[in-house]
Structure 1
Amino acid sequence: MSDLIDRLDNNQELLDHIVDSFQLRIFWKDKDSRFIACNQAFAEDAGFKSPTEVVGKTEFDMPWPSAEAEYHLQTDRTLMESGEPMLSFEQGLTRAGHRKSWILTSKIPTRSDSGEITGILVLYQDMSFIKDLEKESYKVNRAYQLLRSANKAIISATDESSLFKDVCNFIVDHGYKMAWIGRLESDPAKTIKPITSAGCEDHYLESIRITWADDALGHGPTGTAAREGRVVVNQNFLTNPDMLPWRDAAIQHGYQSSIALPLKTNSGTVFAVLNIYGMEPNAFDEDEAAKLDELAQTLSFGHEALLEREKRFDVMVKSVAALAATVESRDPYTAGHQNRVAKIALAIAQEMGSDADTCNGIKLAASIHDIGKMQVPIEILTKPTKLSKIEMDLIKIHPQVGYEILKDIPFPWPVAEMVHQHHERYDGSGYPQGLKGEQIIIGARILAVADALEAISSHRPYRPALGMDVALKEIETQRGILFDPSVVDSCIRLLKAGELTG
């Protein structure tokens, strides 16, 4: 018998050794949820030196908060009432020393020989390491997805304001608390002026002052990043002494950590700083900070490319204006016609809800829609009487000529096509291709109405101005015949609102 007891004792020691090696925490409770036994690993989690100190204790004697204790008791009651095991569920646990952790728990009812529930056996394993890995993986993946979104925004951006706003919105959409971009001012105080933000509530940015000077207001992450041209991370607003000027406002708004990323010109000069705020301390580890720095570099490159694009576009617009002036200088009767058509077309496009980029393209096309008249003899353009069929045929070549002039210019919009199609008609009766309905691009359908409205209402070589009322009546009459109904409707709304005066 003593040999059997010795073997059982040895087996129990072996079992305890195996359980502790796997870092399983095991404990038993009676029907009143009092602890009756546990292993060493659980005793240490609970802040005791040995399992014997745990015996007789309740959940409220443990180091975790009362809310956690109440939750444990609730699951105990649920299990004892149902008699069914609760297997492999995740929960948070505050261990001794206020250590927060995630655990994977299973609770199993213990029974007497008669099958009556006598208590609960609980096993759990610390999952904090796995959770930390998942969290880090999520954060790096989040930064990667953000980088992809920013690349798309850069490709489609038409101006600095929309680019910066889109990127800030993407940052918040990907789970960060707040994002803003501040521009370096050249005033004596070296102010950093917020120019756009997302996720900012209750006028936080208006309530703080940040500079890039070498003083207290410039020693935070934003000022340092601006001054030194490097990424600066603030892992905790509460404990970082450099954050003192902004600490109270940040904590009040739920900001716990932040990262400041310099935006630079091609020459390496910092012109702005991208700031991202987290809801928790230590939100920006090394890998995530590296990805966000890549985002800032990409945004800097995109911004510089946008500025270069705007310079090229400005040259292009001036060249187009010169071409338009050349056309109008040959035909004094239509001087200003293209500009007036451009204003009308722009107003119609805006009224129809077109985005700013599309509106810019339509306005530009309208401003040179008659450029093909450069090849029409001046005598025909200025003839004060009705044109012959041959003369009219010569006039009708101008959309095709205009297309040939413009087709190889790399406009960011279908300018050549709009010019080519501006005399097409909704019912297919127009020229030069006889397109109909939606075969005609929307910009050309808008140009057709704007051109007709301006031509009818204004002075022509062969007749005096007929006025806007006559023009309106003609446009209404040809709705759905010569002109797109939706374009006509927008035009009429503008006329009735007094926003088109001819």
Structure 2
Amino acid sequence: MSVEQQKYVNFKTDGYLAEIRELNRKLNESLTEITALYETVEITRHSINLDEVFSSLFNSAICALGAESGSLMLLDPEKKILTIKKAHGMDEDVIKNTRIELGEGIAGLVAQSGQPLIVHGKADSLEVKGRKKYEKVNSICVPLKSKNGIIGIININRRNDIPFTENHLRLLSTMANEAAFALENAIWNRDVNEGYSCIIRVMVSIVEMRDPYTANHQKRVTDLAHALTTEMGLSKGEIDGVHMAASIHDIGKISVPAETLSKPSRLSKNEFDMIKEHPEVGYNILKGIAFPWPVAQIVLQHHERLDGSGYPQKLSAEEIVLEARVLGVADVVEAMASHRPYRAALGIDAALEEISKNRGVLYDTRVVDACLKLFYEKGFKFKE
């Protein structure tokens, strides 16, 4: 092969390699886009948790578009103000303090018009104010639309010389359209749950007014249950779930006559059977609320015991969720240590002896060990 022929072959080879590299780049870009769309569709179908929807949409958009900064903002329809709910590559004070009016800046214009926007070489967009190292910024801003109008915007930025394209705009718009429905559902779910929470607080207040003992009992049980879950090293979700369940675990007593709750003598069998129904009543009140934790189940099971002697379902061992086992120990210890309408307080020593004696029989061993450690080694005390 002559030198000229070799040069020609090398030239063609370099060209083919360049084409292959470009095809590979486009393939990887398409794969990233497909993955981002898939993740967005999945969260749209399966999640009613507002923070999950925010995180999935925003993180997928940042990754798919190779962005260096960005924000997801929600619109307050009454105040006509945009506030940041998710952000990347931004200062904390900017995230916390930014308020954008409709029509103000890129985000405000997109929220007002409902039309997506590409900005090339803009140095004064929301995400880069006060960040002088960004001399040139490329941005895409798209609206989040629901059937009732604009609910927010998503704004993506990068400072390199590669501008965003119409394909990027279509991708982000498609992701936003997919996610907006989930966002609307999640916002509706949040508002409904807040309404339920108000109702629950009212019901708890009614129970506590009818039976002052229950009010103090629930507060003290909540304190101990929170300390137990922390001592045991449970996850934040488990800790929060136990805390919520403990604070309302006797809500089912709303079905028990006030004179029975405050009876100064021992209860009759019929009266005790009535009180034993309160976990199921509480469960029925709470089961329709989409808590991010199994609150209704914890409330239902907090009187179950490892050997199956508890109520209402006579569950045993691992059939009882861990959170209910924690709440069960906290409930017993507080109840025995405190004054009840029909008897004087038995004292903390008697309460701790009860759980020690029945460790692994009635009460979970891990929970009992954590409880004994709290009282004997760490100086835990109930607040008066």
Is residue 263–residue 274 contact of structure 1 (8 Å, CA) maintained in 2?
no
Whole-angstrom CA distance in 2 between matches of 1:483 and 1:387 = 25
- Determine the structure 1 residue equivalent to 2:301: 421
Q: Deviations over 1:214-270 (max 9, x none)?
A: 99x93xx656545543333346xxxx3x3378696237xxx9744333335654336
Task: State percent identity of aligned pairs.
Answer: 33
Candidates 235, 247, 263, aligned match of 2:144: 263
Q: Does 1:286 align with 2:200?
A: no
Code of the aligned partner of 1:231: P
Aligned mate of 2:32, from 127, 138, 142: 142
Amino acid at match of 1:310: R
Q: Does 1:37 align with 2:4?
A: yes
- Cα offset, 1:169, TM superposition: 3.9
Deviation sequence 1:278-313 (CA, Å, 0-9, x none): 76614x433343122122233333333222111111
Is this contact kept in 1: 2:252–2:278, CA < 8 A? yes
CA contact under 8 A between 1:259 and 1:275: conserved in structure 2? Answer: yes
Partner of 2:118: 233
**Secondary structure in structure 2 of the residue aligned to 1:126:** helix
Inter-CA distance 292–141: structure 2 relative to 1 (3 Å threshold): farther
Task: Name the SS for the 1:384 alignment partner.
Answer: coil
Q: How many Å separate the matches in 2 of 1:172 and 1:182?
A: 11
Return the match for 1:197 from 76, 83, 87: 87
Pairing 1:302–2:302 present = no
Distance 2:380 2:63 in 1: 38
Contact 1:143 1:292 in 2 (8 A): no
The 1:312–1:280 alpha-carbon spacing in structure 2 relative to 1, beyond 3 Å, is: same
Q: Hey, what's the Cα distance between the residues in 2 that align with 1:204 and 1:470?
A: 51
Query: 1-side partners of 2:296 and 2:102: how far apart?
Result: 54
Q: Distance in 2 between matches of 1:150 and 1:387?
A: 57
Higher RCO by CA contacts (8 Å cutoff, separation 6 or greater): 2
Q: 1:462 to 1:310 in 2, by over 3 A?
A: same
Q: Distance in 2 between matches of 1:206 and 1:375?
A: 50
Partner AA of 2:114 in structure 1: G
One-letter identity of the residue aligned with 1:321: R
Q: In structure 2, which of residues 37, 42, 54 is the aligned counterpart of residue 164 of structure 1?
A: 54
Match of 2:261 in 1: 381
Is 1:455 the equivalent of 2:335?
yes
How many angstroms apart in 2 are the aligned matches of 1:326 and 1:204? 42
Q: Residues 474 and 148 (structure 1 numbering): CA distance in 2 closer, same or farther, change over 3 Å?
A: farther
**What secondary structure does 1:335 align onto?**
helix
**Gap regions ≥5 residues in structure 2:** none
How far apart, CA to CA, are the structure 2 residues paired with 1:173 and 1:351? 38
Contact between 1:164 and 1:181, CA under 8 Å: does it hold in 2? Answer: no
Q: Where does structure 1 lack aligned partners over 5 or more consecutive residues?
A: 1-26, 29-35, 46-102, 106-123
Task: Please tell me the residue identity of whatever aligns with 1:293.
Answer: S
**3-state SS of paired residue (1:308):** helix
Among candidates 395, 416, 438, match of residue 275 of structure 2 = 395
Please report the RMSD computed on the Cα atoms of aligned residues, expressed in angstroms: 4.3
**Deviation of the 1:469 alpha carbon:** 5.4
Say whether 1:484 aligns with 2:364: yes
Task: Report the equivalent of 1:409.
Answer: 288
With normalisation by structure 2, the TM-score equals: 0.75
Seen in structure 2, the aligned counterparts of structure 1 residues 267 and 175 have a Cα distance that, compared at 3 Å, is closer
Higher strand share goes to which structure?
A: 1
2:16 to 116, 126, 129: 126
Q: Is the 8 A contact 2:214 2:250 kept in 1?
A: no
The structure richer in helix per residue is 2
Do the aligned residues in 1 keep the contact of 2:57 with 2:176 (CA within 8 Å)?
Answer: no
Deviations 1:137-159 (A, max 9, x none): 33233122123323445644644
Quick one: distance in 2 between partners of 1:177 and 1:317?
A: 39
> In 1, Cα distance between the equivalents of 2:336 and 2:167?
65
Match of 1:317, SS? helix
Q: Does the 8 A contact of 1:194 with 1:205 survive in 2?
A: no
* TM-score, normalization by structure 1: 0.60
Which amino acid letter does the alignment assign opposite residue 133 of structure 2?
A: A
